Amino acid sequence: MKYLHLVVTGLTGLLLILGSLDMPATGDPQAPAARHVSPRYIEQSFEETAVPNMVTSVLADYRSFDTLGEVTVIFTGALAVLLILRTGRRDDEKEGL
């Protein structure tokens, strides 16, 4: 049974390595990801948003809805920890939280 896990892990690793062989090289200007929307961000983002930091203009303006989701994830995480751990301590807690 132990060897079955090893075989499954090894096969998965081989598949992942096989899949990564076709990836474009790092920083390749002809890669599909660099030719679709990136030129628009690089050329237009300062004129459109007046923000010199391109990364922020993508994260907080073009993809603002995505960042709202990220903030909601963090909020939900804090809420989950609060609901799990902050129970049954009302006796010594004056604020009732």
Inter-residue contact 6 to 13 (CB < 8 Å): no
Q: Which of 15, 37, 42, 81 binds other proteins (CB under 8 A)?
A: 81
| Tokens describing residue 57 | 């203009």
3-state helix, strand, coil in the chain (%, to 5): 70, 0, 30
| 91 lies in the binding site for other proteins (CB under 8 A) | no
What type of residue is 74? I
Should residue 61 be labelled a site residue for other proteins when binding is judged by CB under 8 A? yes
- Closer by beta carbon to other proteins, 22 or else 93: 93
**Between 21 and 60, how does the x/- string for binding to other proteins read (CB under 8 A)?**
---------------------------xxxxxx-xxx-xx
